Amino acid sequence: MDVTSLLVQVISGAAGGIAGVALFRGYSLGPLGNAVAGAVGGVLGGQALASLAGWGDASAAGGAVSGVSNVVSSGVAGLIAMVVAGVVRKMIGNSSG
């Protein structure tokens, strides 16, 4: 993985985490928390989702398709990571009270 792909995954994941609040308001971690959870999810899950969706290896696909698939998969992974972190936060908050 090159630095450009890593930056795309971080940015797309953070954007996915921030955008996820519009769909899942109850699981928000705050603006910074959403961005951080999304960025981590974008990096960790971006390549996995691309493989599962059949987009294959980003370097093998090449060109614009590779870039779009990297952005989409990292954004979705960021959204999922934000929601999972929000669910865990709610579960911990509910069990301690």
Its pTM stands at 0.79
CA distance readout (Å), 66 to 39, 46, 70, 74, 88: 19, 12, 6, 12, 32
Please give the pLDDT value at position 47: 73
pLDDT the model gives residue 46: 73
pLDDT of residue 52: 75
Residue pointed to by tokens 């294959």 = 56
Residue (of 27, 7, 8) closest to 17 by Cα position: 27
pLDDT per position as a tens digit, 15-39:
999 999 999 989 999 999 999 999 9
Chain segment 39-94, per-residue pLDDT in tens: 999 999 877 766 676 655 545 545 666 778 788 889 999 999 999 999 999 999 87
